[in-house]
Amino acid sequence: MNATSNIITLPGDGIGPEIMDAAKRLIGELGGIDWHDHDIGGVAIDNHGTALPDTTLEAAKTSDAVLLSAVGGPKWDSTNPDDPRPEQGLLGIRKELDLFANLRPVKPVPALYGSSPLREERITGTDLLVIRELTGGIYFGEKKRENGVASDVCSYSEVEIERIARVAFKSARAKVTSVDKANVLESSRLWREVVTRVHADEFADIPLDHLLVDNAAMQLVAAPSEFDVILTENMFGDILSDEAAMITGSIGMLPSASLGGDGPGLFEPVHGSAPDIAGSGKANPLAMFLSVAMMLRHGLGREADAARVESAVDSVLAGGLRTADLGGDAGTAEVVDAVIAAL
């Protein structure tokens, strides 16, 4: 094993601190990783007046990886555009670390087929990866509100599209499905043109098809196993990745990785802060554990340990342990104990 890795941990809001504590127990069991807590999101607004304090950002830039739980909650909800919002912390750290590629794997566990809202025969064999462009598009475009009219600009450059397209083609095993709205949006027409060009010039041996986003949303429910890599822009990817998450039976089961250039990656579960169950001991820590596995694999180069964690999670689920979101009654602590034992 290499020298001890240095990561920063961002517990955030709601159930975030609880599942981060679970992750720390797992990391401690694996060894070789030092962590340091920093504020982000709502708790950072309370403590620092901003969702992304400078101290958090500087610590992230010098770390080997960033592990984040969740941000947000009704306490900080506001329609006033001048009020700080927890999500600004997440968007800001992605932008500042140039984390332009978000990877969300979706692979239902056989033990949880019965938890999916889709029939078992429809989800069997599903093993897809949503690759979402993360630092461009409508979330980062110019925003205006005046005289009763609001607007958000969706803007993409050719360079932004080229680099995310390369990530998708390099990740593909069978094919890439690029999702856009090229029949309506000019930004989508550029997206389709650039993806097509990158494919022809650099990855012609990998099949490529294009789907309009509404059709893609339908096909994810109708035939999810037909997808390999889904490539799409920021807002479409935000929506489709959450839809794809439900194929597994619970959004509480899915990890994600946000990667960029040479700097640290950010790893987080897909689910939100679930303030309604915060402090109850009911939070499902498995998506956080699988995010730790992605951190080990993509951020710290510890493939064997990543596989150990994933196998331990599979083993616990195969043994029948279920949290409330999966139809069971196991609490956070019980799941943590079981996964660590399975290691």
Catalytic residue annotation: 139, 181, 214, 238, 242
The amino acid that residue 271 corresponds to is H
Query: Can you tell me the distance from the alpha carbon of 84 to that of 135, in angstroms, rounded to the nearest whole number?
Result: 19
Interatomic CA distance for residues 241 and 52, integer angstroms? 25
Q: Considering just the CA atoms, what is the radius of gyration of the chain in Å?
A: 20
Cα–Cα distance for residue pair 122/135, rounded to 1 Å: 33
Positive or negative, the CA dihedral 154, 69, 58, 99 is negative
Bridge partner residues of 70 (DSSP): 12
CA pair distance 343, 314, nearest whole angstrom:
11
Report the alpha-carbon angle 90-92-93, nearest 5: 70
* 306, containing H or E segment: helix 303-318
Sorted by sequence, the CB contacts under 8 Å of residue 1 that are 6+ apart come out as 32, 302
3-class secondary-structure state, position 132: strand
Q: Strand, helix or coil at 228?
A: coil
Helix or strand holding residue 190 (H, E)? helix 186-202
Distances (CA, A) of 89 to 42, 83, 299: 9, 13, 21
Burial of 242 (0-12, 13-18, 19+ CB in 10 A): middle
- Token digits of residue 321: 């342990």
Residue listed under structure tokens 């400078």: 54
